[in-house]
Structure 1
Amino acid sequence: MSGRPALINRYRWWETILIYGGIAVFLAFLLAPFVEGFLVSLKPLSLLFSSPYRFWPENGSFAAYRTMWQSVPGFGWYIFNSFLISFTATAVVLLLVVPAAYVFARFPFRGRGPLLGIFLAVNMFSGAVLLIPLYRLMRSLGLLNTYFAMIVPGVAFLIPSAVWLLRTYMLRIPRELEEAAYVDGASYLYTFRRVILPLAMPGIVVVTITTFIGSYAQQFIYALTFNSKTEYMPLPVGLFGYFGKQEVIWNELMAASFVGILPALVVIFLLQRYLVAGLTAGAVKQ
């Protein structure tokens, strides 16, 4: 039977070209801004707006990656603050969302539908609309000029979408696995911990990544509104320091942007293997 073509290889040669050509075009549009931004970080500032425009930098160097630390003093502290805020917000969101999503997915209770609708409606509001009430709330709680002034609003706006995303994933887990555990005498908590959590790990990882990135991206407006101390400012405020009164230091801004997203890339790289590892974990009764 070695002469028969593989069942999975059913594409004709021109279909294969179209598929890979479409993927190449999609990746080109997706990666082009990042490639251009990286090349800008290698160009001297005096050549950024030269005519004619040159895509590949002449006399390119990594000088901007060294000088960026002097242009905005304490830039490393801005990166640490962003990572600390995002890590704490993600941990709090997961602690609240994982059991809540399981309850919404498995247990019918009065008001479940309206409550899910409220969660969905929260996502329709921008954080800028609620800045004044949030400021008054942070001031009454004594949280201004602290890390919590950015963590608490971030958690509040990230929970609804995380609940919807993880609940949808948990609905796909077969109920027969839980019923088999109940027949064997397992409690709800034991079943949730030993059966549901391992199977839901890919969904939890996706929620972790999206929550971390969302928290990493929404810190600018909260930092400017709820904080006035430099030691609590996150990365977006630090990047704003490269915008001078007369000009923008574009090469250092791009260099700082790539350095600033490294913590997020490291988190995504460390978590991606659990997407596959959690697909089959917990499906076998131990």
Structure 2
Amino acid sequence: MSTVATPVSSRTVAAKSVARTRENWATTRTYVSAALIVIWCLLPFYWMIVTAFRDVGYTFDSTPFFTHVTWDNFTTAFSAELGNHLGRALANSLFISSVTTVVALLFGVFAAYALARLNFRGKFLVLGVVLGASMFPGVAIVTPLFQLFGDIGWIGSYQAMIIPNISFVLPLTVYTLTSFFREMPWELEESARIDGCTQAQAFRKIIMPLAAPAVFTTAILAFIASWNEYLIASILSNDATQTVTVAIARFAGSQPHQEPYTAVMAAGTVVTIPLVILVLVFQRKIVAGLTAGAVK
């Protein structure tokens, strides 16, 4: 009996050892791949931050990060004497992005609920139009918008940038929320209707609280998309209403005919900080919103 059991036991141990080795290699490959992806994605930000703190005379120097450090680039970025109205541009971007996000969510929630939960004629046609609008190139409507807003005197106004932003952000909002509402169990709403709620009450008291993570995630995505918009703002804004993306592109340096690389990177660092803080603070809600509705 012992002579038969010994080879079987040896083969079992060997098989477990091979399986453990393969599992360790798979885990190692996963971590290495993840590390390479993270490094690849963070390298541009590292270069931006290093250049933002680098003395102008050492802009293209290859010395380590902690050498030739200065705060003067941030002073230059906010310098009104050079025409860099970064503070005003930050306020403009915050206002435009906030209004765009609120309006897009206000209409997007109801549109997504209707497309996901209600049956009506032309439902799939509407969804197809929404998807088509999300892929429409913005450069194709810049000239018509410039002519239209010029005729009504809106060039350089906030509404000239908010309305086009809504038209681009709203399809993203509708598509994201529609996917969530589709996965939400019908039984929740039907139970509320049986208990005496109207459809509006069931939507307000049952559906919306459950949809809060998805709505929150969609709001962040809409805000970031509006914050990063450049094309429309570069054509329809002026010095008083320009956003941060336009302000940075029009940066002026202390010396003529010289690109202020360090000041541009300092401004880019300042513009990126709010988005990073937003994502870090609300990362749990973002993950919850992205995974909401995945399991019924």
Give yes or no for TM over 0.5.
yes
Contact 2:214 2:288 in 1 (8 A): no
1:226 lines up with 2:236 in the alignment: yes
Q: Deviations over 1:73-105 (max 9, x none)?
A: 432011110111001100100010011101100
Deviates more, 1:247-256 or 1:65-74: 65-74
**Whole-angstrom distance in 1 between the partners of 2:225 and 2:200:** 30
Q: Deviations over 1:48-82 (max 9, x none)?
A: 234xx335352223331223222444320111101
The secondary structure found in structure 2 opposite 1:12 is helix
**Whole-angstrom distance in 2 between the partners of 1:277 and 1:118:** 28
Q: 1:58 aligns with which of 67, 74, 78?
A: 67
Contact 2:83 2:252 in 1 (8 A): no
Equivalent position amino acid for 1:36 in 2: W
1:238 lines up with 2:247 in the alignment: yes
Contact 1:101 1:167 in 2 (8 A): yes
- Residue 180 of structure 1: how far off its partner (Å): 1.1
- Residue 36 of structure 1: how far off its partner (Å): 1.2
**Whole-angstrom distance in 1 between the partners of 2:135 and 2:291:** 35
Deviates more, 1:73-82 or 1:132-141: 132-141
Contact 1:205 1:271 in 2 (8 A): no
Residue 31 of structure 1 corresponds to: 42
Structure 2, unaligned stretches of length 5 or more? 1-19
**Root-mean-square deviation over aligned CA pairs:** 2.5
The secondary structure found in structure 1 opposite 2:285 is helix
Structure of greater Rg: 2
Contact 1:199 1:280 in 2 (8 A): no
- Residue 141 of structure 1: how far off its partner (Å): 4.2
Structure 1, unaligned stretches of length 5 or more? 1-8, 282-286
Report matched runs for 1:1-286 at 5 Å.
Answer: 12-50=23-61, 53-54=62-63, 56=65, 58-70=67-79, 71-218=82-229, 220-228=230-238, 230-242=239-251, 246-275=257-286
- Residue 276 of structure 1: how far off its partner (Å): 6.5
Residue 3 of structure 1 corresponds to: none
**Whole-angstrom distance in 2 between the partners of 1:139 and 1:279:** 40
**Whole-angstrom distance in 1 between the partners of 2:64 and 2:261:** 15
Deviates more, 1:41-50 or 1:81-90: 41-50
**Whole-angstrom distance in 2 between the partners of 1:20 and 1:55:** 27
The percentage of aligned residue pairs carrying the same residue is 30
Deviates more, 1:262-271 or 1:20-29: 262-271
Aligned residues: 269
Superposition TM-score, scaled by structure 2 size: 0.83
Residue 284 of structure 1 corresponds to: none
**Whole-angstrom distance in 1 between the partners of 2:104 and 2:243:** 19
- Residue 131 of structure 1: how far off its partner (Å): 1.1
Q: Deviations over 1:212-241 (max 9, x none)?
A: 1110111x322232233x111111121023
The secondary structure found in structure 1 opposite 2:197 is coil
**Whole-angstrom distance in 2 between the partners of 1:265 and 1:146:** 28
Equivalent position amino acid for 1:180 in 2: S
- Residue 108 of structure 1: how far off its partner (Å): 1.0
